[in-house]
Chains A and B, each alone.
Chain A
Amino acid sequence: MADVIAAPGQLSGGGTQEQKNYLNETKGIASWLFTVDHKRIGIMYLWAVLASFFIGGVFALLVRLELLTPKETIMSAEAYNRVFTLHGAVMVFLFIIPSIPAALGNFVLPLMLGAKDVAFPRLNLASFWIYAIGAIFAVTAMVTGGVDTGWTFYTPYSTTTSGAVSTMTFAAFILGFSSIFTGINFIATIHKLRAPGMSWYKMPLFCWSMYATSIIQVLATPVLGITLLLLIMERAFQIGIFDAKLGGDPVLFQHFFWFYSHPAVYIMILPGMAIISEIIPVFSRKTIFGYKAIAFSSVAIALVGFFVWGHHMFVSGQSVLAGAIFSFLTFLVAIPSAIKVFNWLTTMYKGQISLKTPMLYALSFLLLFAIGGLTGVFLGALSVNVHLHDTYFVVAHFHYVMMGGTVIAFLGGLHYWWPKMFGRMFNERVGAIACALVFIGFNVTFLTQFVLGSQGMPRRYYNYLDQFQPLHAFSTFGSWILGLGLLIAAVNLFSTFRKKPDAPRNPWGAATLEWQTDTPPITHNFHHTPTIDHGPYDYFPGQRKHA
């Protein structure tokens, strides 16, 4: 049994660490701001996205609070428009898109590959700085008039409304570059910096999913860049491409926008799937089922995801034929997602499941993502879409995917890698309670909105009919439970900094490379170049030669 890797919770390997690691090797603010170490850049990104998550979350709570009553509750209609726009824009551009790739991925991906760093460390640092500059522009937009267009910046409203629309879109334009740089870095890293012996099929599935994500980041983001630039030019010079008065076409903006922003949805969800593919086998003590199916379904999602943007525009006046084709392709993209879910479930089958906090988040993900994904199929059906278009059903659907999927996976990954990042274990019981509250609060908030939407409650409305109030109130109560759960999770994680480092090298008994090095890792990641002598999910390498 000597080479059996310890089961989760059965603490093993590496003592406490007073020795040098990436956190304490150099000191001072400059040693962080000018670092080229992927781990430190990942940590800086982590604080940045968590701050953004907090701001976006406060906006979300304000939106829900305002919707507690049918008329004015706490803010004017104009303020409400700004607050829901800022909630969307902050969450999408400042939080979700960089959350898993740039924060957790930056930290973990090179370690998983057995590399010393990403391929272009300086580009990586540039990515973070550009992100910071973009964030400054976004904050400037918030304090200088705000934006009331919704995060989608649809024309013609966005070209005619006052406020800081140009500043906000310019912020998103800048943030796009940071996303592109991360994508370029990851693709080159995965191609060229895998440890000796790590073939493509021996990479952890996290890396496959990140690879697919990066492809979308590189291919789609420039189109958003030019679209936002055109929007800014339209506002500044009235160039006439989106303005119908001048012969332009407002729907063209929607095409441009969704050509990026639908693939961007996969930029957001694929990294979530990446984390789930790591957590489930570790806490089931079983090799992942269908490795290649999961790996290639990531790539399939990335590719097919480029050809479904028209399903956002079923009622925008595109041709019936185009609508039918986009509808069909939308159904198609559901297949690889379903393949993943079935493979994760099969991985758990007859496994030794241990319900640690990361696994609880992974299980939440499975339930919530299944709902989010399937309701996406409803919305992809043309006739159903006409009924549900721009209602709360859509709001509920994408929150199930984005929050129930990506954010839950992000939280799972954060708990999973927290010991590796900071060398500290969090309180398991408190972590589980927080996860339960998040799960319950989330469902109370958003399951309600499916009902609201199917009854005809339009999204983004400030006032609503009295008949909707009980459901709206229920949803608002849910948002408080959700907020409380997140607060407890945050306190649980941050309170680990008050105690001495206590995390062992491999607390969960994982088989991927990041757990085989020190906790926290040394600056160069590994003392010796790692050698790949078992698969990423092979927990009993001595016993199953035939696998």
Chain B
Amino acid sequence: MSQVTGATGASTIHGHGHEHGHSPFLQHHFAEMEQQFDASKIGMWLFLVTEILLFGGLFVGFGIMQGKFPEAFYEAHHHLDWKLGALNTVVLLVSSYTMVMAVHSASKSNQKALIRYLVITLLCAAIFLVVKYFEYEHKIHDGLLPGKFYTYKGDHVPGGQQATFFSFYFMMTGLHGLHILGGMTVIGWVLKRAIAGHFNSSYYTPVDLVGLYWHLVDLIWIYLFPLLYLIS
């Protein structure tokens, strides 16, 4: 343990003064861009893990309640319009594709394409929210609301657990919707920086990380859609 190891080249990596020219986006506590990129990527993946566990709790809760009250949940799910759900699924899948292309364009220093794909991704997110808005409006109109605010009178299966279904529906899609809004904010931020010309093949970490986040938001919807809309 006491032998001198690894000291070779130590002063060039991690040194105080970065004598050779480096990216303006290199933060002072990193020695080089690659190290900074790797650290950011680890951080982002860990954040995504926490997101999965956050939604995971809701999925488990939903699964347990559905297992207890399959008929009520089956009846309640008929109020959801699977066509709108499917439309939104397609919209998000397209947005995932455009996000991949945005990252790819950034890695090729193709600024025009990067901006174009980011704008399309943002548009898809907006379409998703508009569709969601009409779905919510319909539920609110019919009194299909969470918990004690559930006023719908036409249920056939007794017990009132349709209200629980809609509690979960609103919590899960609501939390997901907040993530879409968050995603739009960060995509907007990346778009602004892309227009300012910050990204090229040697530095596009934010595009990459926002892309990862966006894929996760899409992925959660891919699971939410069959779970809520396609109960059999």
Contacts and interface: CB of A to CB of B under 8 A. Distances in A.
A396 B146 CA distance: 42
B28 A116 contact: yes
A231 B58 CA distance: 12
Interface string B39-58: 11011001101110111111
B109 interface: no
A192 B35 contact: yes
Contacts of A527: 16
A529 B11 contact: yes
Given A239-B171, A547-B2, A188 B42 contact: yes
B105 interface: no
B164 A529 contact: no
B232 interface: no
Nearest to B13: A196
Interface of B: 1-7, 9-11, 13-16, 27-30, 35, 38-40, 42-43, 46-47, 49-51, 53-58, 61, 64-65, 68-69, 146-149, 159-161, 163-164, 167-168, 171
Nearest to B164: A240
Interface in A262-311: 287
A459 interface: no
Nearest to A121: B29
Interface in A332-365: none
Interface stretch (A79-87, A163-171, A247-255): A247-255
Contact of B11 (A119, A236, A528, A544): A528
Interface in A202-238: 202, 218-223, 225-227, 229-230, 233-234, 236-238
Given A184-B46, A188-B39, A237 B146 contact: yes
A226 B39 contact: no
Given A233-B171, A237-B149, A119 B53 contact: no
Given A198-B6, A218-B46, A225-B57, 15 more contacts: A191-B39, A202-B1, A226-B55, A230-B61, A236-B147, A237-B167, A239-B167, A240-B65, A241-B164, A247-B65, A247-B160, A256-B57, A529-B15, A529-B16, A531-B6
A239 B147 contact: yes
A232 to B, nearest CB: 11
A247 B161 contact: yes
Nearest to A110: B29
27 contacts: A115-B29, A120-B40, A121-B27, A192-B35, A192-B39, A195-B10, A196-B14, A197-B5, A197-B6, A222-B50, A226-B55, A226-B56, A226-B57, A230-B171, A234-B147, A236-B147, A239-B147, A239-B167, A241-B168, A256-B57, A528-B11, A529-B13, A529-B14, A529-B15, A533-B4, A534-B2, A535-B2
A197 B164 contact: no
A222 B56 CA distance: 9
A238 B147 contact: yes
A223 B38 contact: no
A215 to B, nearest CB: 9
B148 A237 contact: yes
A233 B167 contact: yes
Contacts of B27: 121
A528 B55 CA distance: 45
Contacts of A230: 57-58, 61, 171
B3 A187 contact: no
A529 B32 CA distance: 14
A122 B166 CA distance: 38
Nearest to A535: B1
Contact of B46 (A188, A225, A226, A249): A188
A123 interface: yes
A532 to B, nearest CB: 6
Contacts of A528: 11, 15-16
Contacts of A534: 1-2
* Pairs A-B, 6 closest by C-beta atoms: A197-B6, A226-B57, A237-B147, A239-B167, A535-B1, A116-B29
Interface in A516-534: 524, 527-529, 531-534
Contacts of A531: 4, 6-7, 10
B39 to A, nearest CB: 4
Given A197-B6, A237-B146, A545-B2, A247 B164 contact: yes
B53 A222 contact: yes
B56 A223 contact: yes
A246 interface: yes
Given A222-B50, A230-B57, A252-B64, A538 B7 contact: no
B64 to A, nearest CB: 6
A473 interface: no
B57 to A, nearest CB: 3
Contacts of B11: 528-529
Contacts of B168: 239, 241
A199 interface: yes
Q: Which one of A117, A196, A229 has the greatest number of beta carbons of chain B within 10 Å?
A: A196
A528 B40 CA distance: 25
Contact of A241 (B6, B7, B15, B167): B167
